[in-house]
Chain A
Amino acid sequence: MCDVRADRYRASAVSQSGGELHLQYAGEHDHHHGGGYRVVQWEWSYVQTPYIIAIWLLVASVAKILFHFSQRFTTVVPESCMLILLGLVLGGVVLIANKKQLYQLEPSLFFLFLLPTIVGDAGYFMPARLFFDNLGAILTYAVVGTLWNAFCTGFSLYAAKLLGFIDEHVQAEMLDFLLFGALISAVDPVAVLAVFEEVHVNETLFIIVFGESLVNDAVTVVLYKVYISFVEVGAENVQTADYFKGVASFLIVSIGGTMVGLIFAVILGFITRFTKKVRIIEPLLVFLMVYLAYLTAELFSLSAILSMTFCGIGANKYVEANISQKSRTTVKYTMKTLASIAETIIFIFLGISAVDKSKWAWDTGLVSCTLVFILIFRAVGVVGQTWVLNRFRLVPLEKIDQVVMSYGGLRGAVAFALVVLLDGEQVKAKDYFVATTIVVVFFTVMFQGLTIKPLVKWLKVPRATNRKPTINEEIHERAFDHILTAVEDIAGLQGYHHWRDKWEQFDKNYLSKLLLRKSVYRKSELWEAYQKINIRDAISVIDQCEADRGLLCLFSSDWPECSLMFVCSRRENGSGVCLDLQVIDNIPGAKVEEDMETHHVLAGNLYKPRRRYQSHYSRHFMPLGEQERQDREVFQRNMRSRMETFKSTRYKRHKKELFQASLLGNYPPVVSHPSVPAALEGCQIPLLPPPPPAPPSPPPAPSSPTSEDSHLPWKGSLGSPPPCVSLEATKIIPVDLQQAWNQSISSLESISSPPAPAEPVHPRVSALSRLGGPRPASYTPPGSAAGSTFSIGPQVSQGSFLFPDKKKEEEEEEEDVEGGVAAEMQPLMSSLKPPGPLPPPPPPPSSAPGSGRRRTPCVYLRSLVTSPPPEPHSRGPTQL
């Protein structure tokens, strides 16, 4: 494979100017092949840049996949090592094929694209509390430690040179060595992440090393730039004032970078407040702003890594609260994907770059001295600083922590990119420095990376536990925070907790108000935590249940998939605040997306090609094909007339029977009370009694704006678990959690549906309820709901059941095309489709697909509200 690719490059890259072929310079050479018309043209120069990028990404991904084939292998050898080795091999191949190294890690590519993806991911998902808890240590190691390393390494190398350990060919003065010391001394975030993520040391240790590697960027940048300017003007021309300028520059670069990041964080938080109707761009906004923070800092030559890190840390809380669940998931996966692939590419390119012999010159003295010095000074620096820090730290850093920290001071691609950036004219020994840097990077990443895991095991460093906090821990942790704040107040200490509390007050009173949506602002963190835990439990119960028995399906073919649907949507949702997301989230994309997510679960019931066709038709909306709609309309008309005649008979009496009948059959999406518990008993889970009869809920009042619960049609019966899905879920929650679960579900609703009238969604929601309001009157004979004591009846006939039911209908709609469905299903068709020309439902006339995206979802949703009632009618005829 590699050979083929190399050949291809060779064939095409001939026209490229020497080794200048690198990824971001797009086809400068626009030459065409010969004259005349050709049937097939070789348009390499046209696709070249994206093609090469894509191929590299592919190589990186495939390499990653291959490494993870062998479980045992990857637990021993870190991925970064393997990638560097692969890079070496690839570089060798290219070199042999080409006599010249075409690819290497270009600093601009690295700093503008690869590094920000990794830092952005790291910053955004940085555990903020942990980071700030250890901020003192992180700052010390990053600033003092890096300065110490830089100066000591620089001076020691100079001393070694004077003592003759380093060959005379290395033409370097003290400034050159100091410069080299500055760039080689910084711990590298990419390498640290790559290695430490596999080692799983405890969080404190990780955050200190990793935080240091991020924050020391400011020091490195300043030192590097100061030295470069010193080298340019020449050592003898440096004035005292310049040193002070250096110090000032450090302050500006670090504080400025942080400020830029925080400003962008505020902007990002503020913007995501208003994306309610355009959820689809939320992830993009996150990426853009975080990246812009990086670029802006670069623009003013501030510390870009600091800027990006703080943008991520700062914005995370508000953005995560503002954006939708799906956006959250998207952001998470996209960031992780990009970061992982960027990391892979960096390591491969590091390997490849090392093969390029023209770029470096070897000097054993320099290499070995550097290696020894950086190891020694790192260790000495860590021990010294820790000794000071431990006098102030609550939990002192133990000796083994210090060993790991010293040993984990990995150097990486940042150093390499910086050394490549050096100007060979100014820094005569550049080639030697390049070689040394490569060796240092390889040594730290490969040797130390390989050995750190056994070392950590051998030292019995406390490992990270991947455990989710229980609700008790969540509660008590918050209580402890308050207690500590109070104790600091009483003891008159202006300590950490005092300031944290001050910050939290400020955040609550001002920042959150500014940056959070009103609907989110009112939420409580503890409540969210509680919901998360509940949902996690539900999922595990369901999983276990399913693992234990496939039997369930025998009893009621409907409910497992219903619950699965639930699980699935919950999983996707992450924190799962929003149970009926498709309803609340009435943006065009949500419905389609959700369907796509549940797609694989429902696969058994779906007519796949058509579904696919639908989602391709428009990303935002699922209109029906013209032909299909026509068919359906005709069908619906027919069914309707039949229904009318049916209704004229004693519909009311039949209705209950119908339901009972249908419940016992396996059709209905509603839980069948008798069968489901039976099924569940099989899986040894404490069961609920059937939920208490739901209070006969009054038909939703046509827009009663005062009571927030009756705003939404499906809130009709608040006490009962509202939608079918949650009702299903209730079944599988152990008895002792039942109440909590129910409450969580019902309150979920109240939370997820924004009560504040100012919310943009509101008009629409109330429009829905208005539409829903008259519905019972027009469809259901009066009193059918109110008088009923049978718990299912009202639920189904009331709004509470609407949406899941809808979903169900869609499934069946798909099925019917397959023709395999029982006749029982067919009547359903009548209720099916949204824009049906059914006279009674007042939805706007057939929603032409072209009628605009903004409007259609509304129509669609309205039709969701209006369509279910006919269902009982329609089912009637066949079942009688």
Chain B
Amino acid sequence: MGSSSSSRNKIPNAQELMHQTGFSSAHLLRLHDRFESLDRDNRGYLSPDDFEVLGGLAMNPIGGRIIEAFFSSGQDTVDFSSFVRILAHFRPTDRNRNKEGTQQELPSSRTRKLKFAFQLYDLDRDGKISREELLQVLRAMLGLQVTEEQLQSIAERAIQEADLDKDDAISFDEFKKSLEKMDIDTKMSVSFLK
């Protein structure tokens, strides 16, 4: 325990992070270890290159998007607290905590999860998934199996289905609405070790 508390001290703003993200200190420690192993040069921040060396991510069709999500605010570095904040989206939704009516919404809430997913699609950050943006994701996910024409029709169909205000794009509300029947808690959560 002594070693863990000492290493916890290495983590800046540990208390605040735990509060904001809902991660336990064990989680934080674990993630910090991970962060350090990713940060091979011990710079205290990660750059996109650090992510790209991950083998699994390179094979992931939308891996690039997810890396981008870590660098969303425009910088090309991410420090530990942003790293944790982003990963916190994928915590299982904390039911008890939400019931307490905490002042702020945890990143693991349904809306925040959806927002994260939405931003992966919304490349130009105009708050809408345009047809072209959807197509790009589809293209990445379907790869060479499907012709461009088929992709187009899938995208077309998806937009028709979700687009309620007929602006030929999917806004976040529409996105949320189109997935309202889906069990986001399960489908957008990773079981971080408890």
Pick out which of these stretches binds chain A: B2-10, B11-19, B50-58, B97-105. Answer: B50-58
A392 to B191 Cα, complex, angstroms: 7
CB distance from A584 to the nearest CB of B (A): 18
Chain B neighbourhood of A392, CB < 8 A? 191, 194
A394 touches B191 (CB 8 A): yes
Chain A neighbourhood of B38, CB < 8 A? 490, 492
A530 touches B120 (CB 8 A): no
**A482 interfacial contact with B, CB 8 Å:** yes
Q: Mark B32-61, 1 if CB is under 8 A from A, else 0.
A: 011001100000000000010011110111
**B162 interfacial contact with A, CB 8 Å:** yes
Chain A neighbourhood of B190, CB < 8 A? 394, 484, 487-488, 491, 493, 495, 497
Indicate whether A743 sits within 8 Å of B186 (C-beta atoms), given known contacts A479-B120, A492-B34.
no
Chain A neighbourhood of B56, CB < 8 A? 485-486, 488-489, 498, 501
CB distance from A756 to the nearest CB of B (A): 14
A522: which of B51, B55, B145, B181 is its contact (CB, 8 Å)?
Answer: B145
Residue of A whose beta carbon sits closest to that of B160? A736
Indicate whether A747 sits within 8 Å of B154 (C-beta atoms), given known contacts A491-B190, A501-B56.
no
A56 to B154 Cα, complex, angstroms: 51
Residue of A whose beta carbon sits closest to that of B90? A487
Q: Mark B138-165, 1 if CB is under 8 A from A, else 0.
A: 1001100111011011101110111000
A747 touches B161 (CB 8 A): no
Q: Mark A493-535, 1 if CB is under 8 A from B, else 0.
A: 1011110010001000000000000000011101100100110
A476 to B121 Cα, complex, angstroms: 10
B141 touches A526 (CB 8 A): yes
B62 touches A479 (CB 8 A): yes
CB distance from A749 to the nearest CB of B (A): 12
CB distance from A483 to the nearest CB of B (A): 6
A737 to B134 Cα, complex, angstroms: 17
B179 touches A472 (CB 8 A): yes
**A5 interfacial contact with B, CB 8 Å:** no
A482 touches B61 (CB 8 A): yes
**A437 interfacial contact with B, CB 8 Å:** no
Residue of B whose beta carbon sits closest to that of A526? B142
A487 touches B157 (CB 8 A): no
CB distance from A576 to the nearest CB of B (A): 15
A480: which of B51, B92, B117, B181 is its contact (CB, 8 Å)?
Answer: B117
**A477 interfacial contact with B, CB 8 Å:** yes
By secondary structure, the B interface counts as: helix
B181 touches A489 (CB 8 A): no
CB distance from A47 to the nearest CB of B (A): 55
A473 touches B57 (CB 8 A): no
A491 touches B34 (CB 8 A): yes
B57 touches A395 (CB 8 A): no
Most A CB within 10 A of own CB, among B38, B145, B185:
B145
A489: which of B57, B145, B162, B192 is its contact (CB, 8 Å)?
Answer: B57
Chain A neighbourhood of B31, CB < 8 A? 491
B181: which of A465, A478, A523, A744 is its contact (CB, 8 Å)?
Answer: A465
Residue of A whose beta carbon sits closest to that of B188? A480
Indicate whether A479 sits within 8 Å of B137 (C-beta atoms), given known contacts A470-B178, A484-B188, A496-B191.
yes
Chain B neighbourhood of A737, CB < 8 A? 157, 160
A472 touches B178 (CB 8 A): yes
Chain A neighbourhood of B34, CB < 8 A? 490-492
Indicate whether A523 sits within 8 Å of B156 (C-beta atoms), given known contacts A486-B56, A490-B66.
no
Residue of A whose beta carbon sits closest to that of B31? A491
B186 touches A479 (CB 8 A): no
CB distance from B192 to the nearest CB of A (A): 7
Indicate whether A473 sits within 8 Å of B182 (C-beta atoms), given known contacts A483-B117, A485-B60.
yes
A485 to B65 Cα, complex, angstroms: 13
B179 touches A476 (CB 8 A): yes
A471: which of B61, B70, B157 is its contact (CB, 8 Å)?
Answer: B157
A498 to B190 Cα, complex, angstroms: 10
**A460 interfacial contact with B, CB 8 Å:** no
Chain A neighbourhood of B90, CB < 8 A? 484, 487
Most A CB within 10 A of own CB, among B55, B117, B146:
B146
A743 touches B149 (CB 8 A): yes
Chain A neighbourhood of B33, CB < 8 A? 492
A234 to B55 Cα, complex, angstroms: 58
B154 touches A527 (CB 8 A): yes
CB distance from B122 to the nearest CB of A (A): 13
**A778 interfacial contact with B, CB 8 Å:** no
A473 touches B181 (CB 8 A): yes
**A393 interfacial contact with B, CB 8 Å:** yes
Instruction: Supply 7 further A-B pairs (C-beta < 8 A) apart from A471-B161, A523-B145.
Output: A472-B161, A478-B141, A487-B190, A491-B190, A524-B142, A530-B153, A739-B156
* B residues neighboring A (CB under 8 Å): 31, 33-34, 37-38, 51, 54-57, 59-63, 66, 70, 87, 90, 92, 117, 120-121, 134, 137-138, 141-142, 145-147, 149-150, 152-154, 156-158, 160-162, 178-179, 181-182, 185-194
Give me 15 A-to-B residue pairs in the complex whose CB atoms sit less than 8 angstroms apart, sorted by A's number: A471-B161, A475-B134, A475-B141, A478-B141, A479-B120, A480-B188, A482-B60, A483-B66, A483-B120, A486-B62, A487-B190, A489-B54, A492-B38, A526-B142, A746-B149
Nearest 6 A-B pairs (CB), nearest first?
A489-B56, A743-B153, A524-B145, A492-B34, A472-B178, A486-B66
